[in-house]
Amino acid sequence: EVQLVESGGGLVQPGGSLRLSCAASGFSFSSYWMYWVRQAPGKGLVWVARIFNDGSMTNYADSVKGRFTISRDNAKNTLYLQMNSLRAEDTAVYYCTRVIVTGTPAFAYWGQGTLVTVSS
């Protein structure tokens, strides 16, 4: 069974940093591109970042480019999101997600999410 478990969320001041983790199990983690998607309280889903299976390429939403870094450790089956220069508008539940099958851009597996609150 595919499982994705996020951790690392919490309260941080504007301008601060936080690193999210996503522990993956139940599938060959090193074979899949991985993604982060976020959802502000009461708002819709927003795609945040993508990383290729070997970490060779990454993509970001314009709103986080230059501030967030997605990375992975295939030996530990873990995905990361390093978030720097955090702003109030980054407050959201952050989901780690995986596509249904390689090559089909549909998010079939989701973690439970971890809440990041940016506030003074």
Partner 1 sequence: QSALTQPASVSGSPGQSITISCIGTSSDVGAYNHVSWYQQHPGKAPKLMIYDVSNRPSGVSNRFSGSKSGNTASLTISGLQAEDEGDYYCCSYKSGSAPYVFGTGTKVTVL
Cβ atoms of residues 46 and 61 within 8 Å = yes
Shortest spacing between CB 61 and partner 1, in angstroms:
5
Residues in 15-74 that interact with partner 1 by CB under 8 A: 35, 37, 44-47, 50, 59-63
For partner 1, the closer CB: 29 or 35: 35
- 106 near partner 1, rule: CB under 8 A: yes
Kindly state whether residue 104 participates in binding partner 1, applying the rule CB under 8 A. Answer: yes
> Measuring CA to CA, which residue among 30, 37, 35, 34 is closest to residue 77?
30
> Rounded to 5 degrees, what are φ and ψ at 106?
-135, 130
CB 47 to partner 1: min, Å: 4
Residue among 31, 85, 112, 119 that touches partner 1 (CB under 8 A) = 112
Q: Among 12, 31, 30, 28, which Cα is nearest to 94's?
A: 12
**Short-list 29, 88, 42, 100, CA closest to 63:** 88
- Helices (H), ranges, 3-111: none
| Count of chain residues binding partner 1 (CB under 8 A) | 23
Q: List interacting residues with partner 1 (CB under 8 A).
A: 35, 37, 44-47, 50, 59-63, 95, 100, 104-108, 110-113
